[in-house]
Chain A
């Protein structure tokens, strides 16, 4: 349904052109729920913006294609793209508090989106309202929430309202960018569960972008990890999280706090991701990788398949994944080498 092929996006900073997204390829089938995880600055939001045509002025697509049901999104005119947005692809942004206009009631804004896409909006207004009502109820929001102004609702309720709005036109793909930032765990659970049930109910595909694996766990069935503009691992959720192939994935999984490790010292990956201004030859993770060898610094590892079907990882030492996993479990392995 959605296929990204070798997408490269660059932006200009102080005269230089830097790559935010570097030859990324991804596919999302109908009904698939893909989680895209990575730290700030890894390029995941830029990727989302490219799909939606919301790139900033100084960002440019250098190469690649984004195929949505066979049509290249990058080749569309702004008018054609606008028609596609919300109807087929809906977007739930970060910080929903600022994505709703404070002077209009929530229901009005939802209808606005409908009005832009469906000519019969006026005639069938009551139908759409009803649909919105059903969706909100499914989100756990009472009718009065729809009639309220944004500032009268809490952050969690707003986020759920925005999600309900996204589903009104039954899009085929929903892109969510950090939808649960600043929400507490209980609300997070409710919001993510809503995403999942709606997507399942309508057969929509989901692309969830977040730095927090824990929140993605609530809704995704497949996982892709992004680092410094490249995809370093992808595959079904259960497999990637139980037996990761890439050292970065291992480190990320380590740093998620779990009850089973309550009281033990937190584990983390020392160091910081490379800045786009400092180009590195070879694997971008090499400076922080505890398993680095010389070839890693020389040649960029390509995203390639491994022993299991449907999974890929970008690591020269893919075959030793089992050994690396055992060592990665000890915080000692990750101690910074000076």
Chain B
């Protein structure tokens, strides 16, 4: 559009210049023809110059002004007989040829009279004409100088406004990850982009199906792995119950201990596989306070846990969050197990889930050094603890929170205390109405 405007301005300038030349030439010719009889009469009626006086008559101006058109009257031999007050004879040619002529930056027009014995030449600076064209084209161009930044700002604002739903769409897609595969909201999108959103949602649905199949495989693997371990453990326990006290029973107890260890480790590896898989965010919020209740119920037969666990649930008794219930159960179970195992045995383990969805699990014990804290989330890292454990608890918790788009914060000492350890997770997707 700008180029078009510029081309139009150039064309207008060229046309204007041609028209101005035509009009100004006509004016120059008209002036010359008007001056000619007047000059002739003036020369005839004037007295001959006195001795030592210049034969050139210079006509004074009536009022002071800048003379755009000057003239000179010469005789047949080129002597100047009459001139306008601003005329410079040197700029005029010595020999006049009737008609138009460009010389020394002047546009000249000459008329001859009295059988070639009197010549009148009028002159006008060519720069005057050029100036007129430049000013006219300039008048055409200056709105462009204003329009250009204005239109740029307008276009920028318009594009920004028009792209707002596209940006929101981009952020929606960006927010999807292996933890969140819910469909993208397409209601506010421009009609042109709606098919793209439809394709994205179909892709997400295909991905979801693939990941659900993977999850189903993990669940089936868990079933296939757990059942033989359960069978071996149960048979060993029956053996312990049925054989008399002695070497065989002791050996059976050793097998039982090994099977328990195998069960724990396979359990943790399955949890880690699940944590690194998909579906860590549910499409609709779920009550995680109820899920936490189920997790705590798992510790009811552990006499150590029964005496050490202190629990604070949300005041309403309900906490809605988009974190998947199973993922949250694994997270909470691992944080509680970690606190029970590695915290001071004679100090309570506090579990707090507040109304804003902040889960805090804290235990007593010596302050954990910062360099040890940095390593705790790595698999098989025990942070110098002598307690027996898989060393996978915090790695599983970290994988879950990362997949769910939140973070696991480890603090030591517990804020407000001189010792202890606290794990904090801000649960994702808490409904805004809370």
The finding on whether chains A and B are genuine partners in a shared complex, rather than unrelated, reads no
Name A's B-contacting residues (CB within 8 A): none
Name B's A-contacting residues (CB within 8 A): none
